[in-house]
Structure 1
Amino acid sequence: MLFALMCTDKPDSLQIRLDTRPDHLAFLDSLGDALKFAGPFLGDDGKPCGSMVMVEADSKEAALAIAERDPYAKAGLFSAVEAQAWAWAVKNPEA
């Protein structure tokens, strides 16, 4: 099942994001086929203010466990992380 991991950055934490980005990208790469797509949310100023990571996992708990292993989470970047089941209905490359 697919889960959208929606992560909100803490205020004034852009430097944490920038410093941790290489480790975050390596972590995403390590997810292999479980990672469907990912990218930052942007604030009105055009700067990253959160993340959305679409992962395949067996359960919501498993998806949240993936989020907890993310170097961004370990660095304390996020104020909130939410996992929501998602159905890829349109333009699904696997359909």
Structure 2
Amino acid sequence: MLFAIICTDKPDAAAIRAQVRPDHIAYLNEHAARIYCAGPTLDDGGETMNGSVLMMDFANLDQARAFADNDPYFKAGLFDSVTVRPWKKVFPAD
């Protein structure tokens, strides 16, 4: 089942994001087989990262939440909020 993990950075947290990014990328690489797509959200100018969106495959909501809770970004206190929801791909049709 696919899940959307939607994370919003705390204001003025760019330094935390930059410092922890290598650990975050390593964590994603460890779970690459589960990733449908992932990437940062950007400010209105399209230049500064201000959050993350991941679409990932897990057996259940508890597994998806555990993944989000163990993300180095989350552990470092980068995020103001994290939402984990089941997600259904509708378009384009497979």
TM-score for both structures, normalised by structure 1: 0.90
How far apart, CA to CA, are the structure 2 residues paired with 1:16 and 1:69?
Answer: 16
How far apart, CA to CA, are the structure 2 residues paired with 1:73 and 1:32?
Answer: 18
Equivalent residue, structure 1, for 2:51? 50
RMSD: 1.3
Equivalent residue, structure 1, for 2:73? 72
CA drift at 1:36: 1.3
CA drift at 1:86: 0.9
Output one character per residue of 1:25-70: Cα deviation in whole Å (capped at 9) or x when no partner.
1100100311111100111242011000111111222111100111
Is 1:15 the equivalent of 2:22? no
CA drift at 1:89: 2.0
Equivalent residue, structure 2, for 1:63? 64
Gaps of 5+ in 2: none
Output one character per residue of 1:61-83: Cα deviation in whole Å (capped at 9) or x when no partner.
21111001111001100011001
CA drift at 1:91: 3.7
Q: Secondary structure at the match of 1:7?
A: strand
Equivalent residue, structure 2, for 1:25? 25
Gaps of 5+ in 1: none
Identity %: 42
CA drift at 1:87: 1.1
How many residues are aligned here? 93
